[in-house]
A and B are shown apart, each in its own frame.
Chain A
Amino acid sequence: AQSVTQPDIHITVSEGASLELRCNYSYGATPYLFWYVQSPGQGLQLLLKYFSGDTLVQGIKGFEAEFKRSQSSFNLRKPSVHWSDAAEYFCAVGGVQGAQKLVFGQGTRLTINP
């Protein structure tokens, strides 16, 4: 079955440090990949997406992600985090079991130390 795994439930980094959030997917064909961010008490906001083409994609708020087919991964990165980046981050894969549906990972909660 198609699935998305975010191995880290909770990550803590210091403000100004670099960040990498991991995402691994299981899907037979070329996936459509997304990263969403959820601030406390809010809905989900799209950070970036990969459909095809350049495997390094840029998103909003200074985030980027790299699609690596050989590793079935789509890791999210940011060179220098800000306190406002504290939130929960979700990786999602589409193109599974129906054209429009997305399957979400369990989420990674990011805490920023001042």
Chain B
Amino acid sequence: NAGVTQTPKFQVLKTGQSMTLQCAQDMNHNSMYWYRQDPGMGLRLIYYSASEGTTDKGEVPNGYNVSRLNKREFSLRLESAAPSQTSVYFCASSSRRDRVSEQYFGPGTRLTVT
């Protein structure tokens, strides 16, 4: 039982390049989330998926797209990376789709955009 896994762990991009961050969970959870973490700002929600087939914007969605590929996988795409997207990205999942429950986090992806 690996929990929540993320790939890659580290990535360096040039401004304007694109990439996809991958996330998978093996806990049969319904809801999945993407956050970014910046110093002094805590975690901010980018997008979330309450259940397979649905996605919704969070607090900071601009510049990102997501795909809930199936119940296990939730990817985050940067179409044209900008230096402001330099951050640590965390994927999380939770069991409930209809109410709050604890979220389980992956190890993170550290992204640098130059």
Contact = CB atoms under 8 A, between A and B. Distances in A.
Given A43-B105, A43-B106, A45-B105, A102 B42 contact: no
12 contacts: A36-B105, A43-B107, A43-B108, A44-B43, A44-B105, A90-B42, A99-B97, A99-B98, A100-B99, A100-B100, A101-B48, A105-B42
A15 to B, nearest CB: 26
Interface string B61-105: 000000000000000000000000000001010101111111111
Contacts of A99: 50, 96-100
Interface in B12-65: 31, 33, 35, 40-45, 48, 50, 56, 58
Given A44-B90, A45-B105, A99-B100, 20 more contacts: A34-B102, A36-B105, A42-B107, A43-B4, A43-B106, A44-B43, A44-B92, A44-B105, A46-B102, A90-B42, A100-B31, A100-B48, A100-B50, A100-B97, A101-B48, A101-B100, A104-B43, A105-B42, A106-B42, A107-B40
**Residue from A36, A41, A99, A100 having most chain B Cβ neighbours under 10 A:** A100
Interface residues of A, number: 25
Contacts, number: 66
A49 B103 CA distance: 11
A22 B107 CA distance: 26
Contacts of B98: 99-100
Contacts of A94: 100
Given A44-B90, A45-B105, A101-B48, A106 B100 contact: no
Contacts of A32: 100
